[in-house]
Chain A
């Protein structure tokens, strides 16, 4: 531990406590690891989306029929909410970078609320679809479509759910005074994850709902 960067006489109101080289290196390691993890997530989503795309290509009639029956309004609203949540996320990170702890809590709170509404609306959408025969049970009218539609969207929904829990954890830690203008790594990694979940949704929305 020879390379500790000494801070001048530690005072209680020191705005930025000096961090050791080892801490900085560890933060870089964590960010790099999160990127690698997201890289492997891309692959999993690629398979689910790919499986849907193959189905879509082979069965255009079925997909067109389902689309005609359900419309895209509710999902478009949901997409908008998720995009807005990403914006809240950015504002939250910006707040803590300017040492605004209250702003952080409010903006991340908004992110969590929007994420929760997304999940709720997805549940509404699922129940509407199931009443139209988009069901996994054998013999349902649109069983084939269901088998290719539910896995990618449900898997994405799970990711949103994990994201909401993660957001609550960030808020919990923020209330405990964990973050500051020099220590916001936890917010940043959550942000990487949340933006990833958002980007995946844009791809899903385009491939599944618009195509």
Chain B
């Protein structure tokens, strides 16, 4: 008992008032990482709605094999180009940064990020950049897909493509500045008593993500610079007629964009590690393996890019890239087994956060398995650029990243606002989203194997039955998002009072009021020795003390205090 009290945050008082984030904070310049985190989150959600609307239009168009909604193929090209770009660069990546900004300094017991001003600056590049990209709609939107291969992107698409490139340039700079800030914060601002291997796994995930961003995103910047020069200055980097090389773009782009896949999914991995352990009341299984596999992914992620170009690649180069592509499945597999080991035998709480984490686990495994299928050359040559690929990337990015981000919203919303999200609506969200997600994206694999190419508005009529099924399911998926948005809006005003630690979690963001005061902690906090040390009397005593100091959770919301003492009966 004595030791657990000794490890409490010093000086934290129940009377210390949390600082609610107001609308005025959100619309103005603020260097508080908590405000910036929420700014990132809201911006990302707005772009999620825009990208989702574009997706709905795509599915509407594909209800019939002929052109009906869109006037011509070019208009359809713009739809999927902007859908992909908005979802990747303006929803998933900023949403990961939202959690990173809000949670990392709290988990480290720090008062803020290492460079608060830089943090605000990095955020404020995003809304104008996103807006600028969408303005491209009025000068002729980009039509070359989110991958923008030349010569499509240099010779066959209007000026919106240039605006697209400038906008991505700004988003890239923003992301590099943010990543530098995260690396410095995590490396230098850990509190005394928290070594690298006492750090919560979410911080590991953000560290790995940030390392990838600093190493890979400049490649995107380089590629975009060359693309802009080709479009406006008459250079010919990607034009063989002028001494350039079309494949140069593909090589540079994928050298960035394959690691970028991990930029998108690693924050979700981190969220999942937190949620699974906390909501099954059990220590994380294989902490070191999860932490180090993130770093392994960060390194190996740089060696697989050419598997996106198997059909364009010299045959002798295919085999090495096939091998590395198989290898990179290993660290991810280690994580999946560790997560299964974590929930195995745990006292699972069926909270909305947990449901989405489990949804992540099941759907991401499907996405991972079709990733390995695509990594094998003979299969890839058959399904290259078909709906099989579309299915794979949505299983990884929606079933993976987005379900992880949803789990994060349900898990940390009480900390951010001081109120719980409505669990009933959360479960409704899951009940709608999970099956409709599967029915949207799984049939795409069948359509893809049957030969439906991606990025076309007019397809073979015998594929219509699959497309109708996909479209109907996708409309349900689209509607399910509004359940979440409605839940957020009503819960901010009238959700149950969360207290400091509604999930009775051990990591440090819960050892302060919800929402935290402006300086996060009163005095210098001391972390509990193990952020995942659930199920011991010591941790239960620690959690009880936090509850006494910082205020209790309203009955019926969150985790019941009595149940927190789960000493495994066997040992």
Q: Once the chains are docked, how many angstroms separate the CA of A183 from the CA of B469?
A: 67
B211-234 vs A, Cβ < 8 Å mask (1 yes, 0 no): 000111111011101100100011
Query: Would you call B114 and A29 a contact (CB within 8 A)?
Result: yes
Cross-chain contact A58 with B218 (CB below 8 angstroms): no
Partner of B217 from the list A29, A33, A40, A148 (CB cut-off 8 Å) is A40
The interface bits of chain A over 117-151 (1 if a CB of B lies within 8 angstroms of the residue's CB, else 0) are 00000000000000000001110000110011001
Contact across chains for A147 and B223 when beta carbons are under 8 A apart:
no
CA A55 – CA B188 in complex, angstroms? 43
Contact of A136 among B176, B185, B235, B252 (CB under 8 A): B235
In the complex where A33-B115, A151-B235 touch, is A40 in contact with B243 (Cβ < 8 A)?
no
**B237 near A36 (CB under 8 angstroms)?**
no
Residue of A nearest to B118 (CB): A33
Chain A contacts for B151, CB-based, 8 A: none
A42 to B245 Cα, complex, angstroms? 22
* B229 CB contacts on chain A under 8 angstroms: 147, 151
Q: Is A199 an interface residue (CB 8 A)?
A: no
A51 at the interface (CB under 8 A from B): yes
**Which residue of the partner chain A has the closest CB to B243?**
A144
The chain B residue with its CB closest to the CB of A47 is: B222
Contact B226 A51 (CB under 8 A): yes
Does A25 make an interface contact (CB < 8 A)?
Answer: yes
Say which size band chain B's interface belongs to.
35 or more
Render B98-115 as a binary contact track against A, CB cut-off 8 A, 1 for contact.
000000000000000011
A151-B225 in contact given A29-B188, A33-B181 (Cβ < 8 Å): yes
Which residues of B lie under 8 Å from residue A14 when comparing CB positions? none
Q: Is the CB of B243 within 8 A of A43?
A: no
**Chain B residues within 8 Å of A200, by CB:** none
Q: Are A44 and B188 in contact (CB under 8 A)?
A: no
Which residues of B have CB within 8 Å of A29? 114-115, 184-185, 188-189
Given contacts A28-B188, A143-B242, contact A43 B236 (CB under 8 A): no
Interface residues on A, range: 20 to 34
Pair B243/A58 contact, Cβ less than 8 Å: yes
Cβ contact of B184, chosen from A2, A36, A39, cutoff 8 A: A36
Convert B20-42 into 0s and 1s, putting 1 for each residue whose CB lies closer than 8 angstroms to a CB of A: 00000000000000000000000
Cα-based distance from A137 to B180 in the complex (angstroms): 39
B189 touches which one: A25, A137, A148 (CB < 8 A)? A25
Q: Is A210 part of the contact surface with B, judged by Cβ < 8 Å?
A: no
Q: Are B115 and A44 in contact (CB under 8 A)?
A: no
B433 within 8 A of A: no
B187 within 8 Å of A by Cβ? yes
In the assembled complex, which residues on chain A have CB atoms less than 8 Å from the CB atom of B214?
36, 39-40
Q: Does B566 contact A (CB under 8 A)?
A: no
Is residue A80 within 8 Å, beta carbon to beta carbon, of the partner chain?
Answer: no
| With A36-B183, A147-B242 as contacts: A136 and B222 at CB distance below 8 Å | no
Majority DSSP secondary structure for residues of A touching B? helix
Tell me which residues across on chain B come within 8 A of A48, comparing CB atoms. Answer: 222, 225
Say yes or no for A59: interface residue by CB 8 A criterion.
yes
A147 with B221, Cβ < 8 A, contacts A25-B188, A29-B188, A39-B215 known:
no
User: What is the minimal beta-carbon distance from B538 to any residue of chain A, in angstroms?
Assistant: 27
Interface: B530 (CB within 8 A): no
The answer, among B114, B189, B236, for a CB contact under 8 Å with A144, is B236
**Minimum CB distance partner of A147 in chain B:** B235
| CB of B479 closer than 8 Å to a CB of A | no
Interface residue B320 (Cβ < 8 Å from any Cβ of A): no
Contact with A along B241-266 (1 / 0, CB 8 A): 01111001000100000000000000
Task: Report the Cα distance A32→B179, complex, angstroms.
Answer: 12
Q: Which of A42-57 contact B (CB under 8 A)?
A: 42-44, 46-48, 51, 54-55
Q: A2-B524, A29-B114, A147-B243 are in contact. Are A47 and B236 (CB under 8 A)?
A: no
B237 and A51 contact, CB distance less than 8 A = yes
Q: Are A37 and B180 in contact (CB under 8 A)?
A: yes
Contact of B236 with A147 in the complex, beta carbons under 8 Å: yes
Residues of B close to A54: CB separation below 8 A: 245, 248
Decide yes or no: A136 and B180 within 8 Å by CB, A25-B188, A43-B218 being known contacts.
Answer: no
| Closest chain A CB from B191 CB (angstroms) | 12
A contact residues around B243 at 8 Å (CB) = 55, 58-59, 62, 144, 147-148
CB-based contact B187/A32 at 8 Å: yes
The answer to whether B221 touches A51, judged by C-beta atoms less than 8 angstroms apart, is no
Closest approach, in angstroms, between the C-beta of A130 and any C-beta of chain B?
14
Q: Complex Cα distance A6/B176, Å?
A: 37
Taken together as a complex, chains A and B put the C-alpha atoms of A62 and B243 apart, in Å, by: 11
Counting chain B CB atoms within 10 Å of each CB, the highest count among A2, A25, A32, A33 belongs to A33
Closest residue of chain B to A36 (Cβ to Cβ) is B180
How long is the Cα–Cα vector from A192 to B37 in the complex, in angstroms?
31
Q: How far is the CA of A137 from the CA of B242 in the complex (A)?
A: 12
A39 to chain B, nearest CB (A): 6
Complex formed: what's the CA distance from A147 to B221 in Å? 18
**A32 and B211 alpha carbons, distance in the complex (Å):** 13
CA distance A32 to B176 in the complex (A): 14
Q: What per-residue 1/0 map shows which CB atoms of A8-37 lie under 8 Å from chain B?
A: 000000000000000001101110110011
**A-chain residues with CB within 8 Å of residue B183 when the two chains form the complex:** 32, 36
Complex Cα–Cα for A59 and B115 (A): 46
CB-CB under 8 A from B252, the residues of chain A are 47
Q: Tell me the minimal C-beta distance from B34 to chain A in angstroms.
A: 20
**Min distance, Cβ B154 to any Cβ of chain A, angstroms:** 13
Task: A119 to B234: give the CA distance in the assembly, Å.
Answer: 24
Nearest Cβ in chain A — how far from B312, in angstroms?
A: 16
Nearest Cβ distance between residue B110 and chain A, in whole angstroms? 11
Complex CA–CA separation, A141 to B523 (angstroms): 70
Are B244 and A147 neighbours in the complex by a CB distance under 8 Å? yes
- The answer to whether B248 touches A40 (Cβ under 8 A) is no
| Bound form: Cα–Cα A157–B188 in Å | 34
Chain B min CB distance to A144 (Å): 4
**A108 to B187, alpha carbons, bound, how many Å?**
32
Known: A32-B187, A36-B214. A137 touches B181 (CB 8 A): no
**Known pairs A43-B219, A44-B219 / 8 extra A-B pairs, C-beta < 8 Å:** A2-B524, A28-B188, A29-B184, A39-B214, A47-B219, A51-B248, A137-B234, A144-B243
Listed from nearest, the 6 A-B pairs whose CB atoms lie closest are A47-B222, A43-B218, A144-B243, A147-B235, A29-B114, A40-B218
Interface residues of A (CB under 8 A from B): 2, 25-26, 28-30, 32-33, 36-37, 39-44, 46-48, 51, 54-55, 58-59, 62, 136-138, 143-144, 147-148, 151, 155
